[in-house]
Amino acid sequence: MSIKFIDGSVTAPKGFTASGLHCGIRKNKSKRDLALIYCEKPCAAAAVYTTNLVKSAPILVTQNNLKNGTAQAVICNSGNANTCNSDGIEVAERTCELLAKELNIDPKDIIVASTGVIGQKLPLEPIANTIPELVSRLSANGATDAADAIMTTDTMKKEFAVEIEIDGKPIRIGGIAKGSGMIHPNMATMLCFVTTDAAISSDMLRIAVKEAADKSFNMVSVDGDTSTNDTLSVMASALAGNKEITAENDDYNIFVEALTELCRKLARKMAKDGEGATKLLVAKVSGAKSENDARGVAKTVVCSSLLKAAMFGADANWGRVLCAIGYSGCDVDINKVDVSFKSKTGRVDVCKNGAGIDFSEETAKNVLVEDEIDIIIELNDGVGTAEAYGCDLTYEYVRINGDYRT
């Protein structure tokens, strides 16, 4: 199967338009803070959400709206998470009603999301006043504005699109995402909105979204904090004209592989854009007794604050990798573990069979000063593999989060 990355994002698939603008939630008038994605027809839709017991009001409203498996629009604000507010559900529901009236669609066919500061009331007036203009700006070229409008402490937009072939038809999948801090998904403050023109039932879409999330966003950690607002949603317009995917067959496998690859691309970019980060860390685990063990080891390694600090300092302190593996809770024979560090500069092997080996500190430093580091872990005990994505821990992370609210 060929997965081709193409220009664009959520408006690359047939039937979708998008827009983004400043409505007034954020004080900085040059920063867009309200995004809209719209499809010309109702779509099959599915989503996965944060596992945090504290969930934002928009998540609760979206969960209710998606019970019928259909959606036609996504609206998302940044600057305010609409979480832990007495009127949060009312504001989220009213947002859906106002947008539905402007688009002439059912309010239940709207995915609503928010991101930003927790515990501050979200004013409805700026959103209500701006919805008509937001709708009027919808266009096939509006995806980048939407990607910008959902950002908070992100320093770069996160948007990609892929094209595959199913049933002889070209199928496109596009996505925008935000996330920089408070990232430790099961699900991460992570939001991702995906569109596709594939014909796929909502039941199959639910399975596909969960499978893709488990191999991408749920393998990211910036700081170990699981957000209250995390949402990954997918809308499928069926306008590509393929035979509808209604079972876990070959067409489904092609679709979910492409969706997973798109989500991995967004997840990597999210990790690299971690708050204050200077480096992307990718833990690549092979030889595990099971895929679950591989995933557990990879995720634990990128979560280690000590390792993240060592990577910031370009210090090949491989003992911190072994230490993290040791407390991962996974079925690992530590005496079989090999560890290497790799970047575009080269590779340095630092551990063999659970013990240190001689290596050049100068070579290691040259490898670790790069902005993308692979931590290669061979467990030599099976065929399970996994990747996890993280970043280094820097002084800047503390500065950003020391005064984030004030």
SS3 call for 23: coil
Segment 244-266 mean pLDDT: 97
Q: Which residue has the higher pLDDT, 235 or 180?
A: 235
Answer whether residue 5 shows pLDDT above 60.
yes
Catalytic residue among 11, 189, 226, 394: 189
Quick one: tokens of 359? 């290596």
Q: What is the CA radius of gyration of the chain?
A: 21
| Per-residue CA distances from 197 to 7, 112, 166, 264, 357 (Å) | 16, 21, 11, 20, 52
d(CA 121, CA 388): 35
Segment 126-144 mean pLDDT: 98
**Domains of the chain listed by start with CATH number:** 4-272 (3.60.70.12), 280-402 (3.10.20.340)
Percent of the chain residues topping a pLDDT of 90: 79
Segment 218-227 mean pLDDT: 63
Q: Which residues contact 249 (CB under 8 A, 6 or more apart)?
A: none
Which phi and psi (to 5°) does residue 121 adopt?
Answer: -65, 135
pLDDT, the chain, mean: 92
**Which band of pLDDT confidence, cut at 50, 70 and 90, is reported for residue 402?**
confident
Q: Summarize pLDDT for 286-323 with one digit per residue, the tens.
A: 999 999 999 999 999 999 999 999 999 999 999 999 99
Q: Summarize pLDDT for 341-392 with one digit per residue, the tens.
A: 999 999 999 999 999 999 999 999 999 999 999 999 999 999 999 999 999 9
Beta bridge partners of 340: 349, 376
**Which band of pLDDT confidence, cut at 50, 70 and 90, is reported for residue 275?**
confident
| Per-residue CA distances from 213 to 11, 76, 226 (Å) | 21, 20, 15
Segment 320-346 mean pLDDT: 97
**Which band of pLDDT confidence, cut at 50, 70 and 90, is reported for residue 187?**
very low
Percent of the chain residues topping a pLDDT of 70: 95
- Amino acid identity, position 33: D
pLDDT at 29: 85
pLDDT at 134: 98
Helix (DSSP H) and strand (DSSP E) numbers for the chain: 11, 15
pLDDT at 184: 46
d(CA 196, CA 233): 11
Segment among 23-27, 256-260, 339-343, 370-374 with least mean pLDDT: 23-27
DSSP state of 188: -
Q: Which residue has the tokens 């499809």?
A: 39
Answer whether residue 227 shows pLDDT above 60.
no
SS3 call for 339: strand
- 278 as an active site residue: the answer is no
**Which band of pLDDT confidence, cut at 50, 70 and 90, is reported for residue 41?**
very high
Q: Summarize pLDDT for 139-182 with one digit per residue, the tens.
A: 999 999 999 999 987 888 999 999 999 999 999 999 999 976 54
pLDDT at 3: 96
| Per-residue CA distances from 272 to 266, 275, 340 (Å) | 10, 9, 20
Please provide the DSSP assignment of 270-292 as one string.
Answer: HHHT-TT---EEEEEEEEESSHH
**Which band of pLDDT confidence, cut at 50, 70 and 90, is reported for residue 331?**
very high
Nearest to 81 by CA among 153, 189, 155: 189
Segment 24-40 mean pLDDT: 94
pLDDT at 188: 38
pLDDT at 229: 65
Q: What is the pTM of this model?
A: 0.85
pLDDT at 294: 97
